[in-house]
Amino acid sequence: MNMIQAINSALDVVMDRDPDVIVMGEDVGYFGGVFRATAGLQTKYGKTRVFDTPITEIGIVGVAIGMGAYGLRPVPEIQFADYIYPALDQLVSEAARLRYRSAGEFTSPITVRSPYGGGIFGGQTHSQSPEGIFTHVSGIKTVIPSTPYDAKGLLIAAIEDNDPVLFLEPKRIYNGPFDGHWDRPAKNWSAHGGGEVPTGYYRVELGKAQVVRAGEALTILCYGTMVHVVSGVVAEAGVDAEIIDLRTLVPLDIETIEASVKKTGRCMIVHEATRTSGFGAELSALVQERCFYHLEAPVERVTGFDTPYPHSLEWAYFPGPVRIGEALKKIMKD
């Protein structure tokens, strides 16, 4: 399966198991979603379980919270993560705090799915990576898969989780893994192990990172599309890097990170999101606090620049093989 099919399969599997799961969002119903993630679901489960919504992100998330308070398990979709901001108040002030402020009387078991990330000439409002905004909010979990297998297993786990989850889908790798070489032919998932997806039910637990490549020379922390970009760079450079796909940003798998950096003595963090106050800053601080005496070089961050996401200058903005390669040389020199 590709990642779209895996997400579709996850929704199908949980909807079949749990009649309280509801899918809603702009264009998700009859049409099956602008990325086809919900294709066929309305036909199979009916209009009251899979439905199109008005174009109002406040409403989509606010209504989902109310449905969750009733006892349903809504999976609202925000068409692009760039358009999640109108719903920010509902997510930050309501979904994330409902359990805390009501001492558990009301909860918000919602999973907000949203395509995110760049590398598709999406320009300013179809490319953003807003995860750092949400990792800063207490009470919400943030999950980002990097393979179809993980996408399905993590999404099932997210929907079954009783806390609100923001599920960000790296749309650049919906159809195939992307190593950052935009000038080479695109690959599809059939040649990648992560494209092998069971048709039935399984979970990939939240809060657990995955060591994508074991190594001794340095630790690279990444997630989403960047897992594949980093893997490509490491293979080409012939560096014995340990690549960790975080998969869940909150709650973070700190044990895997800590063990790895203590072993390698070096840590590089790679994300597409802008640099200042990005999630990389939190990762860097945690590594510095917990692995200080094991570090042989400063923690290195390779990120998007502190600019809005540009259109024509996409590959100058995107933290691709060149930027990561230079950072690799720098961190290994010390």
Partner 1 sequence: MASEPVRANMPPLSLHVPEPKFRPGDPVDFADVDVPPAGSARRPDTAEPAGRFTELAYTLVRVLDEEGGAVGPWDPKLSPDRLREMLRAMALTRAFDERMFRAQRQGKTSFYMKSTGEEAVSVAAAFAMDRDDMCFPSYRQQGILISRGYPLVEMMNQIYSNSGDKLGGKQLPIMYSAKDHGFFSISGNLATQYPQAVGWAMASAVKGDSRIAATWCGEGSTAEGDFHSACTFASVYRAPVVMNVVNNQWAISSFSGFAGAEATTFAARAVGYGIAGLRVDGNDALAVYAATQWAAERARTNQGPTLIEHFTYRAEGHSTSDDPSAYRSAGEPNAWPLGDPIRRLRDHLIALGEWDEERHERQDKELAAHVRDCQKEAEKNGILGHGLHQPLDSLFDGVFEDMPWHLREQRQMMLDEEEASGRPWARK
By CB under 8 A, tell whether 265 contacts partner 1. Answer: no
By CB under 8 A, tell whether 288 contacts partner 1. Answer: no
Tokens of 274: 């802008």
Answer whether 233's CB lies under 8 Å from 324's CB.
Answer: yes
For residue 232, count other CB atoms closer than 10 A to its CB: 19
Task: Please tell me the distance from the alpha carbon of residue 314 to that of residue 307, in angstroms, as a whole number.
Answer: 11
Q: Which of 16, 18, 89, 216 binds partner 1 (CB under 8 A)?
A: 89
Interacting span for partner 1 (CB under 8 A) from 88-96, 190-198, 263-271, 299-307: 88-96
By CB under 8 A, tell whether 66 contacts partner 1. Answer: yes
Catalytic option among 126, 181, 192, 311: 126
Question: Between residues 49 and 266, which has the closer beta carbon with respect to partner 1?
Answer: 49
Question: Between residues 22 and 328, which has the closer beta carbon with respect to partner 1?
Answer: 22
Q: Which of 251, 276, 298, 326 binds partner 1 (CB under 8 A)?
A: 251
By CB under 8 A, tell whether 44 contacts partner 1. Answer: no
Question: Between residues 65 and 268, which has the closer beta carbon with respect to partner 1?
Answer: 65
For residue 191, count other CB atoms closer than 10 A to its CB: 9
Q: Which of 18, 40, 43, 70 binds partner 1 (CB under 8 A)?
A: 70
Answer whether 58's CB lies under 8 Å from 32's CB.
Answer: no
Minimum distance, C-beta of residue 260 to partner 1, in the bound complex (Å): 16
Minimum distance, C-beta of residue 44 to partner 1, in the bound complex (Å): 16
Site for partner 1 in 217-236 (CB under 8 A): none
Minimum distance, C-beta of residue 66 to partner 1, in the bound complex (Å): 3
Question: Between residues 50 and 268, which has the closer beta carbon with respect to partner 1?
Answer: 50
Task: Please tell me the distance from the alpha carbon of residue 91 to that of residue 139, in angstroms, as a whole number.
Answer: 10
By CB under 8 A, tell whether 292 contacts partner 1. Answer: no
Residues 6 or more apart whose CB falls under 8 angstroms from that of 127 comprise 82, 117, 118, 119, 120, 309, 314
By CB under 8 A, tell whether 67 contacts partner 1. Answer: yes
By CB under 8 A, tell whether 15 contacts partner 1. Answer: no
* Concatenated DSSP letters of 1-34: --HHHHHHHHHHHHHHH-TTEEEEETT-SSS--T
Q: At 185, is the secondary structure helix, strand, or coil?
A: coil
Question: Between residues 82 and 314, which has the closer beta carbon with respect to partner 1?
Answer: 82
Phi, psi (5° rounding) for residue 222? -155, 175
| 294 labelled catalytic | no
Site string for partner 1, 142-181 (x = CB under 8 A): -------------------xxx------------------
Q: What angle do CA 204, 210, 214 make, to 5 degrees?
A: 150
By CB under 8 A, tell whether 307 contacts partner 1. Answer: no
* Concatenated DSSP letters of 76-111: EE-S-GGG-GGGHHIIIIIITTHHHHTTTSS----E
Radius of gyration of the chain (CA): 19
DSSP state of 265: S
Which residues contact partner 1 by CB under 8 A? 22, 48-49, 53-54, 56, 58-59, 61-72, 74, 86, 89-90, 93-94, 97-107, 138-139, 141, 161-163, 207, 250-252, 254
